[in-house]
């Protein structure tokens, strides 16, 4: 069978990248089962900007699958699987994890994106089925959530990815609504949105990041 591998980079301190791979023994099986997000997580590698190999580490979630990664200001590494967030030290050693399957406060169901703001709050795009964004403390305790299913301001459709700007405003890529929405740092106030469906300038077709 053919080995198929994909990867994503995220930048940490000291100009390092953390690279994680998705692998599937057969590409057609992977696509048939729902696309690349279904592929099994295998290994995380760290490389320098000049592509010099630094090392590799294996991370295993409850379902042996990883769908997202980020690094905070102190170089803690965050991995996201189907229902939980795994937090590692810079050297890859395990710190803790949080999240259980479900739709209650603090529960996760196929989260699609995560980031960490300047005060260490962990922001998770839990919108593939739960249509919301959740905010956790640096220790993984649930703080608040915002969003619901729909296309109005402050609502989400299917998967979303998240990031923060220089003011810690939360930027949400709202995939199936073909737009980007911006909220204040607590997610309590909708600030603005931009984007419509299409292929012209300023338009999006299911943006994912």
pLDDT tens string 106-115: 999 988 889 9
Q: What is the pLDDT of residues 152-207, one digit of tens each?
A: 999 998 778 899 999 999 999 988 889 999 999 999 999 999 988 788 888 787 77
Q: What is the pLDDT of residue 93?
A: 79
Q: What is the pLDDT of residue 112?
A: 85
Bridge partner list, 150: none
Q: What is the pLDDT of residue 205?
A: 76
| Torsion sign (Cα): 83, 37, 29, 97 | negative
Residues 6+ apart with CB under 8 A from 201: none
- Let me know: does 69 contact 78? Beta carbons within 8 Å: yes
**What is the distance, to the nearest Å, from the Cα of residue 25 to the centroid of all Cα atoms in its chain?**
24
Q: Which of 85, 88, 86 is nearest to 107 (CA)?
A: 85
For 101-167, give the secondary structure using H, E and C: ECCCCCCECCCCEEEECCCCCEEEEECCCCCEEEEECCCCCEEEEECCECCCCCCECCCEEEEECCC
Q: Which of 138, 137, 150 is nearest to 179 (CA)?
A: 150
Mean pLDDT of 122-126: 94
Bridge partner list, 18: 10, 46
d(CA 195, CA 39): 30
């Amino acid at each position: 069978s053919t080995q198929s591998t994909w990867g994503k980079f995220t930048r940490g301190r000291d100009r390092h990248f953390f690279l994680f791979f998705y692998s599937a023994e057969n590409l057609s099986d992977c696509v048939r089962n729902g696309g690349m997000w279904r592929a099994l997580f295998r290994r995380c590698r760290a490389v320098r900007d000049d592509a010099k190999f630094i090392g590799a580490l294996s991370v295993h979630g409850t379902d042996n699958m990883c769908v997202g990664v980020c690094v905070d200001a102190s170089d803690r590494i965050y991995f996201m699987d189907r229902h939980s967030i795994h937090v590692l030290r810079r050297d890859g050693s395990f710190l803790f994890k949080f999240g259980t399957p479900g739709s209650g406060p603090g529960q996760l169901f196929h989260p699609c994106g995560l980031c960490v703001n300047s005060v260490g709050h962990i922001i998770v795009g839990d919108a593939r089925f739960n249509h919301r964004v959740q905010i956790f403390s640096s220790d993984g305790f649930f703080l608040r959530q915002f969003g619901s299913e729909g296309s109005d301001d402050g609502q989400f459709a299917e998967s979303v990815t998240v990031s923060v700007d220089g003011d810690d405003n939360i930027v949400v890529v709202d995939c199936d609504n073909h737009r980007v929405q911006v909220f204040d740092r607590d997610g309590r106030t909708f600030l603005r949105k931009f984007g419509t469906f299409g292929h012209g300038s300023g338009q999006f077709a299911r943006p994912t990041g």
